[in-house]
Every structure is written in structure tokens, then in C-alpha cells.
Structure 1
Amino acid sequence: MPELTYWCELAWLPPGEVVAGVLVETSGSRITAVTPGMAEPPAGATRLAGLTLPGLANAHSHAFHRALRGAAQTGKGSFWTWREQMYGVAGVLDPDSYLRLARAAFAEMALAGITCVGEFHYLHHAPGGTPYDDPNAMGHALVQAAREAGLRIALLDACYLAGGVRAPLSGVQLRFGDGDAERWAVRAEALAAAYAGEPDVEVGAAIHSIRAVPPEQMPTVAAFSHHHAAPLHAHVSEQREENSSCVEQYSATPVQVLHEHGALGPRSTAVHATHVSEVDIALLGQSRTHVCMCPTTERDLADGIGPARAMAEAGSPITLGSDSHAVVDLFEEARAVELDERLATERRGHWRAAELLQAATVTGHASLGFPDGGMLCPGAWADLVSVRLDSVRTAGVGPPAETVVFAATAADVHSVVSGGRQTVAEGRHILGEVGTMLAEAIHETRRVRA
């Protein structure tokens, strides 16, 4: 890639302050220099209006869930009834259709300013559980989709062995399983080898949940993370029923079980952590385990409101994810962390805008194995996300960082540079009409299910 220069009207720079007239120089995929205080753009520089942020990191995604938006939001029910609808989509995808759906879903993320995604991947095999000729064909489809959409990807390959606490897999769940953790590890090692040395792909591990991975199998998954110095993510305490089943079976909470089997630590992320005890919060914080909040999904599925502030104060870095893609807008996820906490406590002012932007950028990247992302500084990934401050949502609102967190939406992102490559210009993705791509890919899943 060539050497390129960008002049930012305003830029959010470390350690979290807005600076005017910032010149960002890049070479290939990296930032080479950042110079503040440039009143006017020099000749040849691309002008970026509004507030320019480092790239956003979507720390928890299930790309195929995008096919459920609008189709699973109405009617009575719970997480468990929604899950049956999700299984309907999971049952019909193959590597080709998964590529088309994920590419469109990732392009939507790019339009929203996301430059790195943590894809929590458990749709491994063909229907019935038969491996494809390449057992990682579905994972390769996700990597290809991310690259074409212009995102880096942490492919978090999930171990999924049971249909519930000590219950066998059945139905579509058979697609998710490898039999045991040792066989999962063989497949995961092959996946990691395929992308060894590829800077835009991090192959990590995931313990799907306490429901899906018996405790005695967890150390094998944790060992993969330790051996590769790779991220290890897990769904944790999303539902009260999950907690009660775990306590009944193991006389411990999900967090306690993960702790006892070596699955917590600075490379680990507990996703959701909605219903956690004071002991759980202490274990997560003392181990410096990240916690990924997904507020738009947690409210969509009626999960509840997790104690994000308490977990952060205990020592857990907070990240953000779109999870089921009911909404793809990390500004909405960020402000929801604050606004939902207001609902739960009946008090305001739990999070500063800078803290929430940090969760959406540098902390999210670090949790996905990209510690050199999410910052506008020399040596970091050349990710620049520019947000309009003159739209009907943001015009005349107030300080720029607070405006973006508490007023802007994904629609206000007008330019995205990801790894030195401009993927969004004037609000349009390089792949073309993303809405059409999504409609075609989702229609295909519905046609096959019909």
C-alpha cells in the first residue's frame, strides 16, 4: 500500500482527548506519524471532517444471527424461544451461503466504523455433524468475508460439546460439536496453522458456555489459548436458568467453574456476565478477565442488565459487542452501558464518554489479540473512523466525544480507513450497496428454510 496522509478536523488522541488539526501519516497498514496543531491540511492530504476516532472493535459477533433481525423481535417468549429461531438459520447455511451472509454483515459493520471483529464461531460442520472435506471450511468462509469487507478478524473457534448441562447434542446442535475437546483442539490447531503469520487474522478459542462444555473438557481449550497466546472467550451467566443449572450440577457458578479450570485471565473475555455475584465479580476482576457487554442484544433477548461499573472497578476491562446484530452500532452499545445502568440504579453518571470510547476501541482490540489497534499513534494499525458533527443528530450538541457517544449513530460515520485501506467513503462501502447484499443473502436463508 502507498504512503497516505490524512488531515483530521478533530481527532481523539491518547490518553483520551480531542485535538484540533491533526495530521496522520500512514505507510501500508500502519500509522507512521501523528502531528497535532496543523491549522490547515497540507497539499496532498485527505481531509477528514468531524471527529476522527481510531477503529472500533466489535468484540462479540455471531454473523449468521444477522438473518434474524426483524424476524425474531416480536411476540412473547424468552432467550430460549429465540434460540429455536436462531437454530433455524444455523441449520441451512453452507460455506458458500455463509460467505455471502457474513460478507454482507461485516460490510454493515464497516459502515458503522468497525475495523476489527471478534467472531464467536461455532457453526463448524455440515448438517448432522458430518465434517466438510476441509473441517474448517466454515471458518475459512468467515475469514474471507472479513477480508473482503475490510475488517481484521479474531476467529474465536468455539468448543461446543453438549446441548445443555450434561445433555447430549441433538438436532442442529450436531453441527456445532467435535465430540470432545481433544478433537476440537486438532481442528483448531489446523485452523491456527492456516493463518500463522497472517497479521489480519487472530485464531482464538472459545468455551461456548457452561451449558455446552463440561468442566473436565475446559482445560484443553484453555491450553490452546495459553500455547498460542490467543484470546479465550466464553458466554457467561447470560441467563438466570444457566446459573441455577450450573449451581445444581456443580455447586458453583459459571464464573467459579471457569476459574477452577484455568479459563480466566488477561487474555480471557466473559461475554455478557449479566447475572453475576459479588464473588464472581471479584474473580473476574482479580484475574483481569475482560467483560464484553452487548446491551442491544441483552435487552432484545430480555436477559437483564449486567453490573458493568462494578466489574470495571473490580479490575475487569470492559469491551463492547453487537452479538446477535439486532443493532449494529457501537455508539449505541456504548451509551447503552451508561443508560441501562441508569435504569438499574435510578442514578446518572456512571461512565464518562472517554471511558466508553476506550471500551469501543483500544480495549476491544486488545481483547481480540490486536493490542496495537484502536489508537491513533505511530506504530498502530492505520484505522481512522470519521464521524459527522453536522448531522441532524450531532449538529450543535456539545463537546465532540460526548456528542459521538450520546447522540451519534452508525449513520453518522462518513469515512473509514481500515489497515490503511479506505473501505468507506462518503458513507458508501467499497463493495457497493450493502443493503442489497444483506437482502439477497438473508432471502436465501429464508428460501432454503421454507
Structure 2
Amino acid sequence: MSRETSLFCPSVLLTEGWVENVLLRFDDRGVITTVERGAQPGGTQARGPVVPGLPNLHSHAFQRAMAGLAERAGRTEDDFWTWRDTMYRFLARFTPEGLQAVAALLYLEMLKAGYTSVAEFHYLHHDRDGAPYADRAENSHRIVAAARETGIRLTHLPTLYAHGGFGGRAPTEGQKRFLHTVEGLLGVVESVRRATAAEPSVRVGLALHSLRAVTPEKLHEALAGINSLDKQAPLHIHIAEQVKEVEDCLSWSGERPVQWLLNHVPVDSRWCLVHATHLTPEEVTRLAASGAVAGLCPTTEANLGDGLFPAVDYLRQGGVFGIGSDSHISVSAPEELRLLEYGQRLVARRRNVLRVGSEDSVGAGLYRAAVAGGARALGLSAPGLEVGAPADLVVLDADHPKLYGRTRDALLDSYLFASGSDCVRDVMVAGRFVVRERHHPSEDTLLARYRRELDRLLAVA
């Protein structure tokens, strides 16, 4: 995958809007140095309309291998907690080699689906018996290796998981592979930072699994530790995903999860609050004002029966959001945004609900907002396609029957609401085409390795 020096775009969605006949020039790191309007065709030319690639702000790569395997009705009512038990049993089988095989196939799928970057919320730290590997960052290095193999841009988020419930409750047997001290987790962060220091396509931050999994003391200790390494590092946390979580937090502290976090932690634009499904109107207002990103994962939230984020009020107050595929029950950038809008339509019983700012086009408004919010959550230098931003872009197939005859914002409306990932033609990350004509150069090799790993995982009793 050689790096291009420029790309002529017959039509491109820049930060300012749609522009025709634009030449994008890149430096040797794959960063945009020039945006020349009114250019003449020449050199490498995009074979369709160009849009910025979407950041995927929330991923648990290992869960790709179990997607669809928890869709059996139990003897009790199924919810997030019964799904979690299935997940615990499945992840007990993973090896570092298997994790890399699954992550690489997933990241290839993301690229072909219109994502150009991913935030990996990584808490599968240890061996199957809960003991650390000889290299305590072994599985983190496997995630980085999978990103390298595919060419996706990675924000790696080693995750602090210390307890089994609010108030420092003892962990369960199923959580033994996740557990870390603050010191141990920061050691993983430092190890990955050292190993990727020369790689501009890898960013390292830190995640707190949830308020359930850390005490206030450990939370603040972890934040002090990451700030000593990088005061701009992205910070992510699962929060207020389920009603039971909210109820348990109230019992523990007298405050709801988002309320507690905003009252006790200086939440700002470095933060991504993943899910944040169950909010009061006051929490909506405070979260929107904080500058933090609401990390929404509509296909996973629907699959788990979590509930619906109060998106209408949040966007009305200028809240920032991005999207993620989380458990990878679906890996499709347009599907996440489509389901986000459709969920709100079902509640409101009307159409075209999530209007972003003054945008008339619902699809274009949601797409632009998800690009900007995702870039913030991943700690990228700039959102969208502009000077100083990474050359991470998607070329859509304007000849596809679902997009034919559409231009500009109408193209994005049809891409989100009447088509899908099959309309992604080419994908560029950091100035390199990693997908050409819907094909990745390592696709056959990575798929064969993934199938071998699935044969092993599914054969284990």
C-alpha cells in the first residue's frame, strides 16, 4: 500500500461543505498540506464522490467472534446481564494469536464499511487463568499489530477494570482476565506508547471500564497517571448504559452515574462517555455543555435492549456525539447513523427528527457531526478533510443503483437511509489506499486466518 502524494476529487465533502474539482496534496505522513480548489484533473483521481472517513469511537474487537451467538432465548428474561454471562464464557477461550486474528478481520471489515479509524476499548489483558503474560502488554500489542496489518488508524485505550461492582465489590470468576491495578494498567499504556512512538497512525489514551469497575480513588489515581504521560490523551468510560447500573449507582452514592462523574471529575472535550443512555434533562444539559463526546452505539444498544439516548434534546443543546460498533453485531457506518435516527422517529412518531444545527439534510447533518465528534473522541488532529487533518477518506460509488443520480447532500441522505456499506468503493487512510474496488490486498489471508481461529474457538467445549 504505497502512499499517494495527491488526489484529485471531482466532488469532495470538505469541512466547509461540498466542493467540486479539488486537488488534495499530502505530506509523507499522510497529512493534508494543500486543498486546491478549481483544480484540473490529473495524477491519481478519485473514482467517485469523496467524503471523510468515519471514526469508529467504540470497539471491543474480541466480541466480533461471538456476534450472533447470544440470540437464544433463556429461561428468564434476557438483558444485558445475561448477554454478559455469555460473553464471559466465550472470551475465556482467546489466545493472543486468536485475538490478533479476530481483530484484523474486524478492522478490515470496518475499512470496507466506511470507517477509517477506530478506538479500541481494550480490557482483555491477561491469560485464560487470569495470570499476566510475560509481556503484560501482550494483548495490547496484538491489537496494534492487527491495525498495522490492515492499515486502519488506531486509538488504543488500555482499560482499567479493578472491581466487580460499585463500592469496590470483589470481581467474579468471569472478570479475571480484565483485572489490573492502576500501576499495572499505566505500565501497559507506557509500553504501547514506547512501541508506537514513531507511528503517527497510532494514538494511545486510557479508558475506565465503568464506575462499577473502579473506585473513586483508583479513578483519580489513573487520571493523574495518564496526565503525567500525556495531558491531551483521550479518556473514555462506559456509563449509564442500563437501568440497573443507574439504580446501583444511586444506592452506592446517592447520585446517578453521569451526575456523579460530572460532579466529581473535570469532564471536558478529552472525554468520551460511551452509551450514556439513561439521562435526566439536567444531565443532558450538563453533558452537552461539558464538550465531552457522547459515544453512541445504536446497533449494540438495540441488540442488548439498553434503551434510547435522548438525542433530540442533546443535539438541540449543541451536544457532540460520535458512533461506534461496540460488540460488532453489525459493522456498518451508515447503519449506526440510520438506526440512531430511526430510534428517535419511533419515539417521536414523526420523520426527520435529528436535525443538526441548520442542516436541512438529516443524513448530511448526522454524517458531518459524527465525523467531528468521532475525531474529538479519538484525539485526532483535526476533523474532516482540511489542511492539517489526516488524509482519511472514503470514495463512494456514484454509479451504484442506490446512489445513482444523487449528488452532494442528497448523496449522503441516500447513503445513510437507502443504501449501506456496499456503496463504499475505495478507502484511504493516511494517504494510502487500503481498499480499492471493495477489496483489501490482505483480505484473503486475513479471512483464512480468521476462519481457522473461529474453528478453534467454536470447537472448544
CA distance, structure 1, for counterparts of residue 419 and residue 403 of structure 2: 6
Question: Do 1:219 and 1:261's aligned partners in 2 also have CA atoms closer than 8 Å?
Answer: no
In the TM superposition, what is the alpha-carbon distance from 1:437 to its structure 2 partner?
4.6
Equivalent residue of 1:154, what SS?
Answer: strand
Q: Which has the higher mean CA deviation after the structures are superposed, 94-103 or 386-395?
A: 386-395
State yes or no: 1:70 paired with 2:96: no
Q: Counterpart in 1 of 2:455?
A: 443
Q: Counterpart in 1 of 2:306?
A: 303
Structure 2 residue identity aligned to 1:394: L
Q: Counterpart in 1 of 2:238?
A: 235
State yes or no: 1:394 paired with 2:403: yes
Structure 1 residue identity aligned to 2:388: G
CA distance, structure 2, for counterparts of residue 73 and residue 412 of structure 1: 29
State yes or no: 1:330 paired with 2:333: yes
Q: Counterpart in 2 of 1:139?
A: 140
In the TM superposition, what is the alpha-carbon distance from 1:186 to its structure 2 partner?
3.6
Question: Do 2:381 and 2:390's aligned partners in 1 also have CA atoms closer than 8 Å?
Answer: no
Percent same amino acid among aligned pairs?
A: 36
In the TM superposition, what is the alpha-carbon distance from 1:324 to its structure 2 partner?
0.6
CA distance, structure 1, for counterparts of residue 246 and residue 309 of structure 2: 14
Structure 1 residue identity aligned to 2:442: L
State yes or no: 1:279 paired with 2:282: yes
Question: Do 1:274 and 1:304's aligned partners in 2 also have CA atoms closer than 8 Å?
Answer: yes
In the TM superposition, what is the alpha-carbon distance from 1:146 to its structure 2 partner?
0.6
Structure 1 residue identity aligned to 2:404: A
Question: Do 2:3 and 2:433's aligned partners in 1 also have CA atoms closer than 8 Å?
Answer: no
In the TM superposition, what is the alpha-carbon distance from 1:74 to its structure 2 partner?
4.0
Q: Deviations over 1:286-344 (max 9, x none)?
A: 22111011001111111111112322333431111000101111111112221111112
Q: Counterpart in 2 of 1:174?
A: 176
TM-score by length of 1: 0.93
In the TM superposition, what is the alpha-carbon distance from 1:48 to its structure 2 partner?
1.9
Equivalent residue of 2:19, what SS?
Answer: strand
Q: Counterpart in 2 of 1:432?
A: 443
Q: Counterpart in 1 of 2:365?
A: 355
Equivalent residue of 2:284, what SS?
Answer: helix
Question: Do 1:296 and 1:333's aligned partners in 2 also have CA atoms closer than 8 Å?
Answer: yes
Question: Do 2:4 and 2:432's aligned partners in 1 also have CA atoms closer than 8 Å?
Answer: no
CA distance, structure 2, for counterparts of residue 224 and residue 114 of structure 1: 31
CA distance, structure 2, for counterparts of residue 72 and residue 436 of structure 1: 24
Structure 1 residue identity aligned to 2:368: Q
CA distance, structure 2, for counterparts of residue 311 and residue 35 of structure 1: 36
Q: Counterpart in 2 of 1:149?
A: 150
Task: Label 1:59 to 1:120 Cα distance change in 2 as closer, same or farther (>3 A).
Answer: same
Q: Counterpart in 2 of 1:18?
A: 18
CA distance, structure 2, for counterparts of residue 112 and residue 35 of structure 1: 28
In the TM superposition, what is the alpha-carbon distance from 1:263 to its structure 2 partner?
5.5
Unmatched tracts of structure 2, length 5 or more: 356-361
Q: Deviations over 1:389-447 (max 9, x none)?
A: 22232224562222222223112111011111111000001212365454333333222
Q: Deviations over 1:152-200 (max 9, x none)?
A: 111111100112224211223111011x334433443333343335312
State yes or no: 1:4 paired with 2:8: no
Structure 1 residue identity aligned to 2:389: A
Equivalent residue of 2:45, what SS?
Answer: strand
Task: Label 1:93 to 1:27 Cα distance change in 2 as closer, same or farther (>3 A).
Answer: same
Task: Label 1:128 to 1:429 Cα distance change in 2 as closer, same or farther (>3 A).
Answer: same
Structure 2 residue identity aligned to 1:26: F
Task: Label 1:7 to 1:73 Cα distance change in 2 as closer, same or farther (>3 A).
Answer: farther
- Give 1:186-205 correspondences, 5 Å limit: 186-205=187-206
Question: Do 1:232 and 1:263's aligned partners in 2 also have CA atoms closer than 8 Å?
Answer: no
Task: Label 1:188 to 1:261 Cα distance change in 2 as closer, same or farther (>3 A).
Answer: farther
Equivalent residue of 2:205, what SS?
Answer: strand
TM-score by length of 2: 0.91
CA distance, structure 1, for counterparts of residue 297 and residue 204 of structure 2: 22
CA distance, structure 2, for counterparts of residue 117 and residue 213 of structure 1: 24
Task: Label 1:32 to 1:280 Cα distance change in 2 as closer, same or farther (>3 A).
Answer: same
- Give 1:332-347 correspondences, 5 Å limit: 332-347=335-350
1:245 to 231, 242, 248: 248
State yes or no: 1:415 paired with 2:417: no
Structure 2 residue identity aligned to 1:356: L
CA distance, structure 2, for counterparts of residue 418 and residue 391 of structure 1: 23
Structure 2 residue identity aligned to 1:129: G
State yes or no: 1:319 paired with 2:322: yes
CA distance, structure 2, for counterparts of residue 191 and residue 143 of structure 1: 8
CA distance, structure 1, for counterparts of residue 432 and residue 7 of structure 2: 12
Question: Do 1:236 and 1:273's aligned partners in 2 also have CA atoms closer than 8 Å?
Answer: yes
CA distance, structure 2, for counterparts of residue 31 and residue 215 of structure 1: 42
Equivalent residue of 2:133, what SS?
Answer: coil
Equivalent residue of 1:271, what SS?
Answer: strand
Question: Do 1:362 and 1:371's aligned partners in 2 also have CA atoms closer than 8 Å?
Answer: no
Q: Which has the higher mean CA deviation after the structures are superposed, 167-176 or 432-441?
A: 432-441
Q: Which has the higher mean CA deviation after the structures are superposed, 112-121 or 404-413?
A: 404-413
Q: Counterpart in 1 of 2:48?
A: 50
Task: Label 1:355 to 1:296 Cα distance change in 2 as closer, same or farther (>3 A).
Answer: same
State yes or no: 1:41 paired with 2:41: yes
Structure 1 residue identity aligned to 2:393: L
Structure 1 residue identity aligned to 2:414: T
Q: Deviations over 1:334-364 (max 9, x none)?
A: 1222111111222322233233112332321
Q: Which has the higher mean CA deviation after the structures are superposed, 316-325 or 353-362?
A: 353-362
Equivalent residue of 1:47, what SS?
Answer: coil
